[in-house]
Amino acid sequence: MKKTFNLKSYMKHAFYEDVRGYAMKQERAWMDAYKQKVDSGIEPQKAWESCLEEYNTDVLQKIDKK
């Protein structure tokens, strides 16, 4: 399955430059990934777990790069 969690696509559309903006970007990316998985026929619980796994992988990779 292709990766659907893409936070980079939402980084350009920030409305706030503080914690609220960061949270809004993450929520949009999460909901977009979730919607794509559910629309492709995956059960909602499995889609949520898959999004969580992708998110954790993405965040851990960013932490390791620093």
Give the mean pLDDT of 3-17.
Answer: 60
pLDDT tens-digit map of 20-66: 777 877 888 888 889 999 999 999 999 999 989 988 888 777 777 76
How far, in Å, are 12, 34, 47 from residue 52 at the CA level? 23, 10, 9
Output the pTM of the full model: 0.64
Cα atoms in the 13 Å half-sphere on the side-chain side of 14: 13
